[in-house]
Amino acid sequence: MTGSIVVPLDGSALAERALQYALRLARAEKVGLVLLRVALADAPMTLDGANWERDQLSAVAEAERYLEHLQAGLGSDIAFVRDVPYGPAGREILAAIQRLSPSAVVMATHGRTGLAHLVHGSVAEIILAGSEVPVWLVPAHADRVNAVPGVPAAPRVLVPLDGSPLSESALAPAIDYLGAHAGGALLLATVVAEPDHVERDEQGRVLAYLDQQEDALRRGAREYLEGVAARVRQKAEGVAVSAAVTIGSADEGIVALAAQHGVDAIVMATHARTGLERMRQGSVAGAVLQASDVPVLLVRAQTPAVARAHSACPGSALRPG
């Protein structure tokens, strides 16, 4: 990656958990950090709006003091920029991303999904839906030890694939990320759905038992991943590429493979649906983020054509979120 990394903050300890990862990522990539806090005063308490301008100026001043104090404790080996726009958080962060043209955004998230996600809202979801640059979402699980790991010298990155152009759009950002880390490793992973019935012909004769179907699915997925791996090796010299296949639900399979192989990050593509559509369609990316102990780099589907080209490999349980 080149350029700078934007870190949205809101004054909370939760948001600040992203700083540890952003700092190490910036040092590894040799880029600067933009510490961003959106200021917004409470609605006026009187009908005439008296004192509202004062409250707005006070909100901006408080945000600036917060960032200045925060930066003072982060060291001097990285170039910092402090940015305090005014307005609704989601809108202003997206505007800042467009204005600053960073290489990436790093932010913490509760990783809520479903009804709780809709009720509480999520700035992270808004940013993901509108950002033209990759977004690192750092899970902030208060009940887990080392929930925000640093960036190792030779990171291992997992990219979930399902045979679609959409899922494969995560490969380039993953390779770019590993390109700045000598000795990095890329794990290509596919989760195939578990067969749930014996296949029979029209006369009821058995064509394939469950274990036979599972073996066929694994072979097909493995062949697909090896083909992708061969293409990646041609483009990414110095990056070790391996493949893994498992059976089950997409989100549980991805998280299990990440733990089994000790990866340091997950990079995956997403439709970045929001609100009611997210509830109806579900989200593999959201479920992975909720369960993951490592940062997740979500790459938003860039064009409708990519989304329309989605054509999963046989038996794939993955559906980008």
Amino acid, single-letter form, for residue 196: D
**161 and 140 part of one domain:** no
| DSSP letters spanning 217-246 | HHHHHHHHHHHHHHHHHHH-TT-EEEEEEE
Element (H, E) at 156: strand 156-160
Which of 133, 148, 163 is the endpoint of a domain? Answer: 148
Q: Does 113 lie in the same domain as 4?
A: yes
User: In this structure, are 273 and 295 located in the same domain?
Assistant: yes
Instruction: Tell me which DSSP letter residue 189 carries.
Output: E
Domain that holds residue 229: 152-321
Give the count of domains, the chain. Answer: 2
- Going by C-alpha positions, the residue among 286, 217, 209 that lies closest to residue 246 is 217
Residue where one domain finishes, among candidates 121, 148, 175: 148
Residue 32: the pLDDT is 95
Radius of gyration of the chain from Cα atoms?
Answer: 22
Q: Do 78 and 25 belong together in one domain?
A: yes
pLDDT at 145 over 70: no
Q: What is the torsion angle, in degrees rounded to the nearest 10, for the CA atoms of residue 11, residue 97, residue 239 and residue 272?
A: 90
Query: For 79-119, what is each residue's pLDDT tens digit?
Result: 999 999 999 999 999 999 999 999 899 998 765 544 344 33
Residue burial 188-216, b: 16+ Cβ < 10 Å; e: rest: bbbbbbbbeeeeeeeeeeeeeeeeebbee
Residue 39 DSSP label: B
Q: Which residue has the higher pLDDT, 144 or 29?
A: 29
Sheet containing 296-300, strands listed edge to edge, beginning at the edge strand earlier in sequence: 80-83, 32-37, 4-9, 104-109, 135-139, 296-300, 265-270, 156-160, 185-192, 240-247
Same domain, 64 and 185: no
Q: Which of 220, 222, 283, 291 is nearest to 253 (CA)?
A: 291
Hey, which residues does 296 pair with through a beta bridge? 137, 266
Decide which of 289 and 63 is more confident: 63
Amino acid identity for residue 255 in this structure: V
- Asked whether residue 167 falls in the same domain as residue 139, the answer is no
Residue 110 has phi, psi (to 5 degrees) of -70, -25
How many residues are given for the chain?
Answer: 321
Tell whether 97 and 32 lie within a shared domain: yes
Structure tokens that stand for 15 in this block: 């948001």
Q: What are phi and psi of 37, to 5 degrees?
A: -130, 120
CATH number of the domain where residue 285 is located: 3.40.50.620
303 shares a domain with 157: yes
Residues 256 and 170 in one domain: yes
Whether residues 9 and 137 fall in one domain? yes
φ, ψ for residue 294 (rounded to 5)?
-120, 155
The verdict on 136 and 156 lying in the same domain is no
- Average pLDDT for the chain: 79
User: What region, left, alpha or beta, does residue 122 occupy, with left being phi > 0 and alpha being psi -120 to 50 degrees?
Assistant: beta
Judgement on whether residues 183 and 276 belong to the same structural domain of the protein: yes
Domain boundary among 96, 114, 148: 148
Phi, psi of 282 (to 5 degrees): 80, 170
Tell whether the model's pLDDT for residue 243 goes beyond 50.
Answer: yes
Q: At what angle do helices 250-260 and 284-291 cross, to 10 degrees?
A: 40
Place of tokens 């699915």: 217
How confident is the model over 176-188, as pLDDT tens digits?
Answer: 888 766 678 999 9
The dihedrals phi and psi of 26, each to the nearest 5 degrees, come to: -65, -40
CA pair distance 13, 34, nearest whole angstrom: 18
Q: What is the pLDDT of residues 186-208, one digit of tens each?
A: 999 999 987 767 677 787 776 66
| Phi–psi pair at 235, nearest 5 degrees | -100, -20
**pLDDT score, position 161:** 95
pTM of this prediction? 0.78
